[in-house]
Amino acid sequence: MNKIYNPTRSQWNEVLKRPTQTIEDIEATVSEVFNEVSQKGDEAIKKYTSLFDGVDLKNNKVSNAEIKDAIKQIPSELKEAINTAKNNIEAFHAAQKTNGIKVDTVNGVSCWQEKRPIEKIGLYIPGGTAPLFSTILMLAIPAQLAGCKEVVLCTPPNKEGKVNPAILYTASLCGVDKIYKIGGIQAIAAMTFGTETVPKVYKIFGPGNQFVTVAKQLATRYNVAIDMPAGPSELLVVADETANPSYVASDLLSQAEHGIDSQVVMVSTSKEMIDSVADQIEEQIKGLPRREIAEKAIENSRLIYVDTKEDALELINEYGPEHFIITVSNENFYVDGIVNAGSVFIGDYTPESAGDYASGTNHTLPTNGYAKQYSGVNLDSFMKSMTFQKITKDGIKNIGPAIELMAEAEGLQAHKNAVTIRLKDLK
Amino acid sequence: MNKIYNPTRSQWNEVLKRPTQTIEDIEATVSEVFNEVSQKGDEAIKKYTSLFDGVDLKNNKVSNAEIKDAIKQIPSELKEAINTAKNNIEAFHAAQKTNGIKVDTVNGVSCWQEKRPIEKIGLYIPGGTAPLFSTILMLAIPAQLAGCKEVVLCTPPNKEGKVNPAILYTASLCGVDKIYKIGGIQAIAAMTFGTETVPKVYKIFGPGNQFVTVAKQLATRYNVAIDMPAGPSELLVVADETANPSYVASDLLSQAEHGIDSQVVMVSTSKEMIDSVADQIEEQIKGLPRREIAEKAIENSRLIYVDTKEDALELINEYGPEHFIITVSNENFYVDGIVNAGSVFIGDYTPESAGDYASGTNHTLPTNGYAKQYSGVNLDSFMKSMTFQKITKDGIKNIGPAIELMAEAEGLQAHKNAVTIRLKDLK
Q: Read out DSSP for A14-54? A: HHTPPPP---HHHHHHHHHHHHHHHHHTHHHHHHHHHHHH-
Query: DSSP state, A61?
Result: B
Q: Picking from A361-370, B107-116, B125-134, B310-319, which range would have the lowest pLDDT averaged per residue?
A: B125-134
Give the CB-side neighbour count of residue B287, counting CA atoms within 13 A: 12
pLDDT greater than 70 at residue A222 = yes
pLDDT greater than 80 at residue A24 = no
CA distance A254 to chain B (A): 4
d(CA B236, CA B187): 33
pLDDT greater than 70 at residue A410 = yes
Is A363 annotated as a binding-site member? no
Give the CB-side neighbour count of residue A415, counting CA atoms within 13 A: 26
Give residue B293's identity as a one-letter amino acid code. Answer: I
d(CA B99, CA B88): 22
Contact B309, B330 (CB under 8 A): yes
Quick check: A223 and B368 CB within 8 A? yes
A338 contacts in B (CB within 8 Å)?
386
User: Cα angle vertex A134, ends A130, A135, to 5°?
Assistant: 90
Quick check: A109 and B354 CB within 8 A? yes
Choose among B111, B350, B412: nearest Cβ to A390.
Answer: B350
Choose among A258, A340, A413: nearest Cβ to B289.
Answer: A413
- Identify the pLDDT of residue B332: 98
Is A410 annotated as a binding-site member? yes
The residue from B93, B234, B257, B323 that is catalytic is B323
- Could you tell me the CA-to-CA distances from A91 to A86, A352, B98, B105 in Å, in that order? 8, 19, 18, 6
Give residue B145's identity as a one-letter amino acid code. Answer: L
d(CA B258, CA B294): 7
Cα-only R_g, chain A = 25
- At residue B9 the predicted structure's pLDDT band, cuts being 50, 70 and 90, is confident
Is B258 annotated as a binding-site member? yes
What digits encode the pLDDT tens for the residues B283-304?
999 989 989 989 999 988 899 9
B396 contacts in A (CB within 8 Å)?
349-351, 354
Rounded to the nearest angstrom, the gap between the alpha carbon of residue A362 and the centroid of all alpha carbons in its chain is 8
Quick check: A391 and B415 CB within 8 A? no
Choose among A78, A257, A395: nearest Cβ to B412.
Answer: A257
Mutate one of A96, A223, A386 to test the B interface: name it (highest B CB count within 10 A). Answer: A386
> 3-state DSSP call for residue B79?
helix
Give residue A291's identity as a one-letter amino acid code. Answer: R
pLDDT greater than 90 at residue B21 = no
- Identify the pLDDT of residue A133: 96
Residue A285 CB neighbour total at 10 angstroms: 19
Q: Locate the DSSP E strands across B241-333.
A: 263-268, 302-305, 323-327
What digits encode the pLDDT tens for the residues A28-72?
999 999 999 999 999 999 999 999 999 999 999 999 999 999 999
pLDDT greater than 90 at residue B155 = yes
Q: How many CB pairs under 8 A join A and B?
A: 404
- At residue B181 the predicted structure's pLDDT band, cuts being 50, 70 and 90, is very high
Quick check: A353 and B289 CB within 8 A? no
Give residue A331's identity as a one-letter amino acid code. Answer: E
The edge-to-edge listing of strands for the beta sheet with A120-124 is: A178-181, A150-155, A120-124, A203-205, A225-226
Give residue B7's identity as a one-letter amino acid code. Answer: P
CATH number of B24-100+118-226: 3.40.50.1980
Element (H, E) at B205: strand B203-205
CA distance A314 to chain B (A): 13
Is B93 annotated as a binding-site member? no
The residue from B93, B234, B257, B322 that is catalytic is B322
Which residues, 6 or more positions from B286, have their beta carbon under 8 angstroms from its beta carbon?
Answer: none
Per the DSSP assignment, residues forming a β-bridge with A151 are: A121
Average pLDDT score, chain B: 95
What digits encode the pLDDT tens for the residues B213-258?
999 999 999 999 999 998 888 999 999 999 999 999 999 999 999 8
Contact A355, A343 (CB under 8 A): yes
d(CA A381, CA B122): 23
Polymer length of chain A: 427
CA distance B188 to chain A (A): 17
Element (H, E) at A296: helix A291-299
Quick check: B353 and A419 CB within 8 A? yes
What digits encode the pLDDT tens for the residues A308-342?
999 999 999 999 999 999 999 999 999 999 999 99
Choose among A80, A103, A415: nearest Cβ to B92.
Answer: A103
- Identify the pLDDT of residue A21: 62
- Identify the pLDDT of residue A168: 96
How high is the ipTM of this complex? 0.95
What digits encode the pLDDT tens for the residues A74-128?
999 999 999 999 999 999 999 999 999 999 999 999 999 999 999 999 999 998 6
pLDDT greater than 80 at residue B19 = no
Query: DSSP state, A221?
Result: G
Mean pLDDT of B35-57: 96
Query: DSSP state, A381?
Result: G
- Largest distance between two CA atoms of chain B: 85
Shortest CA distance from B77: residue in chain A: A405
CATH architecture of A231-371: 3-Layer(aba) Sandwich (3.40)
Choose among B134, B287, B351: nearest Cβ to A418.
Answer: B351
Mutate one of A89, A367, A384 to test the B interface: name it (highest B CB count within 10 A). Answer: A384
Quick check: A335 and B134 CB within 8 A? no
- Identify the pLDDT of residue B11: 87
- Could you tell me the CA-to-CA distances from B59 to A51, B38, B71, B157, B180 in Å, in that order? 58, 19, 20, 11, 9
- Identify the pLDDT of residue B129: 65
Mutate one of A353, A367, A377 to test the B interface: name it (highest B CB count within 10 A). Answer: A353
pLDDT greater than 70 at residue A129 = no
Q: Picking from A93-107, B12-26, B302-316, B317-331, which range would have the lowest pLDDT averaged per residue?
A: B12-26
- Identify the pLDDT of residue B24: 67
- Identify the pLDDT of residue B399: 97
Query: DSSP state, B19?
Result: P
A384 contacts in B (CB within 8 Å)?
366, 371, 373-375
- Please determine whether the domains at B24-100+118-226 and B392-425 fall in the same fold group of CATH: no
| Burial of B63 per CB tally in 10 Å (0-12, 13-18, 19+) | exposed
User: Cα angle vertex B158, ends B155, B160, to 5°?
Assistant: 135
Residue ranges covered by each domain of chain B? 24-100+118-226, 231-375, 392-425
| Burial of B10 per CB tally in 10 Å (0-12, 13-18, 19+) | exposed
d(CA A134, CA A363): 9
Which span out of A268-277, A286-295, B126-135 was modeled with the highest average pLDDT?
Answer: A268-277
Quick check: A399 and B354 CB within 8 A? yes
- Identify the pLDDT of residue B22: 65
Is A233 annotated as a binding-site member? yes
Is B186 annotated as a binding-site member? yes
Closest by CA to B238, choosing from B330, B159, B311, B324, is B324
Find the Cα–Cα–Cα–Cα dihedral A58, A60, A62, A63, rounded to 10°. -40
Residue A41 CB neighbour total at 10 angstroms: 18
d(CA B148, CA B176): 11
Quick check: B85 and A376 CB within 8 A? no
Quick check: A111 and B419 CB within 8 A? no
Quick check: A80 and B393 CB within 8 A? no
Residue A341 CB neighbour total at 10 angstroms: 28
Long-range CB contact pairs, B23-27, < 8 A, 24+: B23/B210, B23/B213, B23/B214, B26/B210, B26/B211, B26/B214, B27/B214, B27/B218
Choose among A250, A289, A422: nearest Cβ to B351.
Answer: A422
| Residues of A annotated catalytic, as ranges | 322-323
CA distance A47 to chain B (A): 28
What digits encode the pLDDT tens for the residues A349-390?
999 999 999 999 999 999 999 999 999 999 999 999 999 999
What digits encode the pLDDT tens for the residues A147-193?
999 999 999 999 999 999 999 999 999 999 999 999 999 999 999 99
Q: Are strands B101-106 and B109-117 parallel, antiparallel or unpaired?
A: antiparallel
- At residue B20 the predicted structure's pLDDT band, cuts being 50, 70 and 90, is low
Closest by CA to B21, choosing from B211, B185, B205, B207, is B211
Q: Where are the alpha helices (DSSP H) in B123-237?
A: 133-146, 165-173, 184-193, 210-219
- At residue B17 the predicted structure's pLDDT band, cuts being 50, 70 and 90, is confident
Give the CB-side neighbour count of residue A331, counting CA atoms within 13 A: 14
Q: Could you tell me which CATH class the domain A24-226 is placed in?
A: alpha beta
What digits encode the pLDDT tens for the residues B331-384?
999 999 999 999 999 999 999 999 999 999 999 999 999 999 999 999 999 999
d(CA B217, CA A407): 29
Q: How far apart are the first and last CA of chain B?
A: 79
**CATH number 1.20.5.1300 given to B392-425:** yes
Average pLDDT score, chain A: 95
Is A209 annotated as a binding-site member? yes
d(CA B351, CA A396): 9
Rounded to the nearest angstrom, the gap between the alpha carbon of residue B119 and the centroid of all alpha carbons in its chain is 19
- Identify the pLDDT of residue A160: 93
CA distance A259 to chain B (A): 11
A85 contacts in B (CB within 8 Å)?
402, 406
Choose among A349, A373, A395: nearest Cβ to B202.
Answer: A373
Quick check: B356 and A105 CB within 8 A? no
CB crowding B415-425: b at 16 or more within 10 Å, else e: bbbbbbbbbee
Mean pLDDT of B8-35: 83
Cα-only R_g, chain B = 25
Quick check: B415 and A113 CB within 8 A? no
CATH number of B231-375: 3.40.50.1980
pLDDT greater than 90 at residue A14 = no
